[in-house]
Amino acid sequence: MSTTKRPRSTGSAQIDSLKTKGRSAAAGSAAPTQTKPRGGNLVVTFLDSKGHISVGRVAKRFGMSKVQLAETIGLKPETIYRAARLEAPKTQTRATEMLEIIGRIADWAGGEKQAMAWYRAEPIAAFGGRTAESLVKDGKASAVRDYLDHVATGGFA
Q: Which domain holds residue 101?
A: 37-152
The reply to whether 91 falls in a domain is yes
pLDDT in tens, 12-62: 444 444 333 333 333 433 433 444 445 668 999 999 999 999 999 999 999
The reply to whether 31 falls in a domain is no
Q: How many CB atoms are closer than 10 A to CB 91?
A: 21
Cα separation, 25 vs 32, whole angstroms: 5
The residue ranking higher by pLDDT, 156 or 87, is 87
The reply to whether 42 falls in a domain is yes
The single-letter DSSP state of residue 130 is B
Q: What average pLDDT does this structure show over 92-99?
A: 96
Can you give the pTM of this predicted structure?
0.72
DSSP-assigned states of every residue in 50-75: TS-B-HHHHHHHTT--HHHHHHHTT-
The reply to whether 95 falls in a domain is yes
How many domains, in total, are found in the chain? 1
With CA atoms as reference, report the closest residue to 113 among 58, 74, 76, 37: 58
